[in-house]
């Protein structure tokens, strides 16, 4: 559902990587230490623009190392908080780029610094980084995809990873609801029906009818919390199914943890379903291709360029 992995003070001059030793910052946060491996990654370019990254392929580490390229002066990222980042990721063994944001306005990705939410090495690389920072993290398999690797990204179980993060925005930890707790609303005729398990996980049943040709959004529960604004970082539980088959193609519930991301960092229809809603709400969105993945679809998720998508989303927090 995210556009990329979719699984970051503007510098006036290009900066070469200067490894910084670990120290406790003024707010008491102790960053992951730099080391001989992170110091081998040379990075140039302006904050907020795609970096030029150079290192010798075959780089490997046994523990996560973090070095600072640009030292930001903004709010500091802390455990369970949320960061909005641009990033470039490499397989350290092959030297190949495996993923990146576009570094265009609105293309950032948000991560919650919480166990099981993202790779442990990403948390170690981002934690204690002030907004405005560019940091390098060299991550071992144990803090990444472990022995299984990632077939989709072409990463073997023995490969270390290299991330370059531009930390654009930092949000302090916020209270996250376990599930939507708003008032139940009357179902809208013609839309898929939704049955909830005791923990809040939805089962979506698509009607035997043609999919709508335009975007449909309806309230299933109406919350009373903070209103989601465009550009906010939201925390949600969601399930997505394909209208034509009724098949679930993505669900945060099955992963066991909510997802956090910027409203501008997801497919258009999903973002439109969130903005203006209040925390505690549950919404259903029927998203045609034009507001989804377009004519190209998303083959990795089994979505064709003609597929209409259905999402049920619990809005748990916003910042």
pLDDT in tens, 292-307: 999 999 998 999 999 9
pLDDT of the residue at 14: 20
Please give the model's pTM, rounded to 2 decimal places. Answer: 0.63
φ/ψ of residue 197, rounded to 5: -75, 170
pLDDT in tens, 55-84: 999 999 999 999 999 999 999 999 888 899
Instruction: Give the tokens for residue 72.
Output: 């930001």
CB-CB neighbours of 42 under 10 Å? 14
Q: Which residues of 202-240 are buried (b: 16+ CB within 10 A; e: fewer)?
A: bebebeeeebeeebbbebbbbbebbebeeebbbbbbbbb
pLDDT of the residue at 117: 67
Domains of the chain and CATH, by start: 38-171 (3.10.50.40), 183-318 (3.10.50.40)
Give the pLDDT of the chain (319 residues) as one tens digit per residue: 544 343 321 111 122 222 333 444 546 689 999 999 999 999 999 999 999 999 999 999 999 999 999 999 999 999 888 899 999 999 999 999 999 999 998 788 888 887 666 899 999 999 999 999 999 999 999 999 999 999 989 999 999 999 999 999 998 888 899 999 999 999 999 999 999 999 999 999 999 999 999 999 999 999 999 999 998 889 999 999 999 999 999 999 998 989 888 898 899 999 999 999 999 999 999 999 999 999 999 998 999 999 999 999 999 999 8
Rounded Cα–Cα distance for residues 7 and 216 (Å): 27
pLDDT of the residue at 174: 82
pLDDT of the residue at 107: 81
pLDDT of the residue at 82: 86
Please answer whether residues 86 and 166 qualify as being in contact, where contact means their C-beta atoms are separated by less than 8 angstroms: yes
Q: 299: Cβ–Cβ under 8 A, 6 or more apart, which residues?
A: none
Name the residue among 81, 128, 76 with its Cα closest to residue 235: 81
Please answer whether residues 251 and 238 qualify as being in contact, where contact means their C-beta atoms are separated by less than 8 angstroms: yes
pLDDT of the residue at 11: 18
């Amino acid at each position: 559902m995210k556009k990329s992995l979719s699984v970051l003070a503007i510098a006036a001059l290009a900066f070469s990587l200067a490894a910084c030793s670990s120290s406790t910052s003024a707010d008491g946060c102790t960053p992951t230490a730099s080391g001989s491996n992170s110091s081998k990654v040379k990075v140039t370019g302006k904050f907020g623009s795609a970096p030029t990254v150079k290192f010798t392929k075959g780089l490997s580490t046994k523990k996560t190392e973090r070095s600072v390229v640009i030292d930001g002066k903004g709010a500091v990222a802390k455990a369970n908080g949320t960061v909005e980042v641009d990033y470039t990721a490499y397989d350290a063994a092959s030297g190949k780029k495996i993923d990146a944001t576009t570094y265009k306005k609105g293309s950032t990705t948000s991560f919650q610094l919480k166990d099981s939410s993202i790779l442990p090495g990403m948390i170690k690389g981002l934690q204690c980084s002030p907004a405005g920072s560019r940091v390098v993290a060299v991550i071992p398999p144990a803090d990444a995809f472990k022995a299984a690797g990632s077939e989709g990204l072409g990463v073997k179980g023995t490969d270390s990873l290299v991330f370059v993060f531009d930390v654009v925005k930092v949000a302090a930890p916020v209270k996250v609801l376990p599930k939507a707790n708003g008032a139940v609303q009357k179902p809208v005729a013609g839309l898929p029906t939704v049955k909830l398990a005791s923990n809040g996980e939805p089962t979506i049943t698509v009607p035997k009818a043609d999919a709508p040709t335009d975007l449909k959004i309806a309230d299933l529960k109406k919350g009373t919390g903070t209103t989601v604004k465009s550009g906010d970082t939201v925390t949600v539980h969601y399930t997505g199914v394909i209208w034509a088959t009724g098949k679930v193609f993505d669900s945060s519930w099955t992963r066991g943890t909510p997802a956090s991301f910027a409203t501008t960092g997801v497919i258009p229809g999903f973002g439109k379903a969130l903005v203006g809603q209040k925390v505690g709400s549950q919404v259903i969105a029927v998203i045609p291709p034009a507001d989804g993945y377009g004519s190209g679809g998303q083959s990795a998720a089994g979505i064709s360029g003609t597929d209409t998508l259905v999402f049920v989303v619990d809005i748990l927090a916003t910042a």
